[in-house]
Structure 1
């Protein structure tokens, strides 16, 4: 199978077309071969379990049937939401990434059969939206009586197009086939003919068409697509809302539509929509040089990271609207934390890094990736969380807090979003800019790239995230001048997050150590990277020791839910206590300041994890319900991402370090 050499999971190179682009470029994921024990099995599970299960569920739930009925112009839309079309698109996108790395004739043929069905559902002018095409006189209730009239609200017509563009671009770049790409281009040309200056104007209700149009621009060089992406972004803030209303729908903040994007300075509204908007703004800023966009997303990023992110990297605290709350509004019992929002956060932070070359964006990406994102998929590859809880207690479980995983959902945007994210992980490991080669993620494997036209091979060996020992063997084709920039994670530089939202209670005992060919090496720290500049020769080896201490994390006092509490972190991994390891209950632990935690790796637990064990206090009530006392107890903490793989029960991330008051509740 032909795989185009410039294929990248995150961005597609457009050097031939664009006058400017991201200053830093990712190394395409097809140039990075993983050979580790953490990500490689997950990518393989995604290939062998998640992708087939997603395709099967698209059939069994009627998503494929919707396209068949649209082609026949007969029947009744048989699923719940007008954006259900996108679950097929996203699964094709994930399948394409998988196909690029692991040729599979059966998968290739099956995706072609689905693409044929999709193509038959497309109307002659390029319109593709089954919720209307099946029965134009009786469309979905969210769709509006005519095309586009409800797009600014809930029709999701442009949202569907955006995901189709993303999937068609991935399929074309993976296979070289134009069958899906031609469908997408026909739809995109309809959008160009319909929207723009002097035509129809709308701020897309659910963003992603902007990112999708940029993808098509990168493939075709057709500036109409880039211009339309910018046009859609610039339409925000033009609709008349009741600006004084505190209702996020009435004042437009739910849609990020309350003011022009260049005037926005807070992460607001529906968290997934927001992430896709900010990622689209980054794309357009990179390709057009729009400094106002750049200034706006810089401010928004600062606001999110300093006031609106949970300790394990999740965002979107409020279930009512799946949205960001106010500054420091980060409740635990009612946390929402949609998995799609975590995925969007990874997309956006990768782009922010490519704009600025600063490790702080990869620090946030890593925090999200290893914690609040992969928590969204079970270890079996076919069970999922839509939301990601911060605590589950038997005494009180909020309606939005999912205590157990599900096979799929009526709204299954999260499972299919994971399908397309997981196989793209290798594309986040390395990046480059001229003589600068960035090492962003620590995953064993090999990478092949070129620096100023000269071949370079990098071999990475480690047991991350369980061990802080990192080894890199540098193999240029001949002696090469290069600046090797290895990210020193924020967690190893006394930053649990690049803001004062969370911090470590005590400084680390050990320091980072870096050696070149067995000897300490001189380097400078710049933007979170250890920069080693030299003429590299084949076989040069860098060894880094990152101190994997168990750290106590505390929150800013403005996060009222976490006052007097601590969370546990080791390396990039945030920990929780789950019922299965702690006698069925986790909500009654107190972790004194004297507790020392011992890490123990258990290869047979949860597909292999390092757990933390320590002696703590447990609050108990006697059998008569008349006496309360504390007893010594050993607590076992597991990685947050791995919870809820052994049934339903209590889970906690934040623990009191002392008790100052007790509220009594009779059953």
Structure 2
């Protein structure tokens, strides 16, 4: 089986052509990182044994596969709801391909090939592949125009489908060495090159991702037309005339990030998933072309998002109407939307921002999202999901956009299949390299293999992260070598809840992280958030670091009214919540006074093994018979946010009041 030469969601050139520009920092490809980590291994294995098979099975049972079969026959009626349902098969093949690269499986390999045959049979002679039209081009749904790409700038998703196909095909080729899916994708991409561009058809894709996919095909083939077309699609934004007076977000271009040219955009805006894919595509094109205007724009947009539009557990996309970013500081808890796909896109984008700039703040955001607002989207069973990720669930409040329990599938099932492709790629986010600079970004047990000046280097991590802050790194060069080891000192370990003033710790802890080299404490410099240890390394050198695992009370910026007078709880990278199951059936009645102290305990049989927080707190209780409201002492149990809703439906909250100043009476 052919090993990956391409990092899953980022870069690294495969083709033999000379690539003059690229990301200055290169990630260590995930196939060169072998995990022994309990926290992540069980999730990756569950993805392999449960999520991928369940995803393929649901693609079959819901008619997604049948759509391709009918398209091959050029007859029938499109039998699912959305024209982008094709992408669920593409994304599942992508995740299966990553899994095959790590864990060869002849049965899965054969099944994937059978799916690719079905896909190929549906492709039209000129390369067009879009089942919603090909099945019966004279009778298409309201999302489609009468002609190809007629409604692409709105909601046909023709180019979106193509983009996910390219990403799936690239992954499959690099995992297996087979060209069967790649050839389908290249035939379609060549059609796009013939159709779109200067002097040809102009369009700003309605749902971005084709830009990222074209870049991946460019990296494989060296065909510059693919990179040029990716940039063309990005530059097309901001030129369509919308009804500027309308307040409806979908009619003024903001929803599509199409209200102004991308280089003039300064805020994270519109549909959150579209935004993440756009900004990731801009980063890819900027890295490969040196476009400084793109860089300036995404820097500003990142600062806006992290400073004014992100939830405390790393989620984005606050508003359900349009699955979009709200205004600055519009982060309501009761109606928080927080699509799982947006969290996945946020990981993609922050990885790219790190590769451009080499600053740890991007990995801080990536880590917060990954350990909290992203993996909350998949149940511990691997086959139940959240499309949205709530901030609070109260018995006396129901909202149509807020999911109270996990589902096995959705009519729009983009999130489960996005999880499928994200999970096996996690090892590729741990290490990165720029010449002799070796970055350790995530603390996940296992080994990473890389080369420095053509000499082998192995780094072995041993830890019990995220539950314990004790970290150990064994450095094993083939022979003595000079290198700069750069270990991320997380922002959360330096009194920074998030790399902005949006959230902060109520009581800062001034505790410098101690680093030992071969058992002796050393002085080190911090550069861009990394502890830098420069020396001639020899086999068996060991670095130890202990991160403070204090329970931190997180407070919000005064401009977030929903969080006023409240705290959230954080320990290490993990955000916590209270769930009904552990707190006498309630979560919305808990008060955590300022003088509260917390204890921690690891419970191996709870929720696949978690560290819980406990504290003596107050609760507000209503005696309906006596018509009285009282407070009483109780013991709070808080669990990691990511694992809520794995034990049934009930109340949950992330933010806790410190005292009661007002009670609103609700009768029902």
TM-score normalised by structure 1 residue count: 0.99
Whole-angstrom CA distance in 2 between matches of 1:437 and 1:255: 38
Tell me the secondary structure at the aligned position of residue 272 of structure 1.
Answer: helix
Q: Which residue in the other structure is 1:387 paired with?
A: 388
Q: Which residue in the other structure is 1:57 paired with?
A: 58
Matched ranges for 1:113-512 at <5 A: 113-508=114-509, 510-512=511-513
Q: Which residue in the other structure is 2:2 paired with?
A: 2
Whole-angstrom CA distance in 2 between matches of 1:493 and 1:12: 30
Tell me the secondary structure at the aligned position of residue 246 of structure 1.
Answer: coil
Structure 2 unaligned segments of length 5 or more: list them: none
Q: CA offsets per residue over residues 214-258 of structure 1, 9 Å max, x none?
A: 000000000000000000000000000122332211111000000
Whole-angstrom CA distance in 1 between matches of 2:341 and 2:31: 24
Whole-angstrom CA distance in 2 between matches of 1:378 and 1:422: 13
The number of residue pairs the alignment matches comes to 666
Q: CA offsets per residue over residues 621-647 of structure 1, 9 Å max, x none?
A: 124252111100100000000000000
Q: 1:513: Cα distance to partner?
A: 1.1
Alpha-carbon distance change, 623 to 311 in structure 1, aligned in 2, over 3 angstroms: same
Tell me the secondary structure at the aligned position of residue 249 of structure 1.
Answer: helix
Q: CA offsets per residue over residues 325-354 of structure 1, 9 Å max, x none?
A: 000000000000000000000000000000
Whole-angstrom CA distance in 2 between matches of 1:171 and 1:500: 42
Does the 8 A contact of 2:2 with 2:174 survive in 1?
A: no
Tell me the secondary structure at the aligned position of residue 298 of structure 2.
Answer: helix
Q: 1:403: Cα distance to partner?
A: 0.4
Does the 8 A contact of 1:12 with 1:219 survive in 2?
A: no
Does the 8 A contact of 1:523 with 1:533 survive in 2?
A: no
Comparing 256-265 with 509-518, which one deviates more in the overlay? Answer: 509-518
Q: CA offsets per residue over residues 360-419 of structure 1, 9 Å max, x none?
A: 000000000000000000000000000000000001022111000000000000000000
Whole-angstrom CA distance in 1 between matches of 2:233 and 2:361: 29
CA RMSD of aligned residues (A): 0.8
Which 4+ residue blocks in structure 1 deviate beyond 3 angstroms? none
Whole-angstrom CA distance in 2 between matches of 1:73 and 1:572: 52
Whole-angstrom CA distance in 2 between matches of 1:621 and 1:579: 16
Whole-angstrom CA distance in 2 between matches of 1:321 and 1:623: 40
Whole-angstrom CA distance in 2 between matches of 1:516 and 1:287: 38
Does the 8 A contact of 1:17 with 1:218 survive in 2?
A: no
Q: 1:665: Cα distance to partner?
A: 1.5
Tell me the secondary structure at the aligned position of residue 205 of structure 1.
Answer: coil
Whole-angstrom CA distance in 2 between matches of 1:496 and 1:609: 21
Whole-angstrom CA distance in 1 between matches of 2:138 and 2:229: 29
**Residue 38 (structure 1) aligned with residue 39 (structure 2):** yes
Q: CA offsets per residue over residues 470-505 of structure 1, 9 Å max, x none?
A: 000000001110000000000001111000000000
Tell me the secondary structure at the aligned position of residue 162 of structure 2.
Answer: helix
Q: 1:509: Cα distance to partner?
A: 5.7
Structure 1 unaligned segments of length 5 or more: list them: none
Whole-angstrom CA distance in 2 between matches of 1:509 and 1:392: 35
Q: CA offsets per residue over residues 112-156 of structure 1, 9 Å max, x none?
A: 000000000000000000000000101222011100000000000
Tell me the secondary structure at the aligned position of residue 456 of structure 1.
Answer: strand
**Residue 84 (structure 1) aligned with residue 85 (structure 2):** yes
Q: Which residue in the other structure is 2:651 paired with?
A: 650
Whole-angstrom CA distance in 1 between matches of 2:327 and 2:211: 26
Tell me the secondary structure at the aligned position of residue 404 of structure 1.
Answer: coil
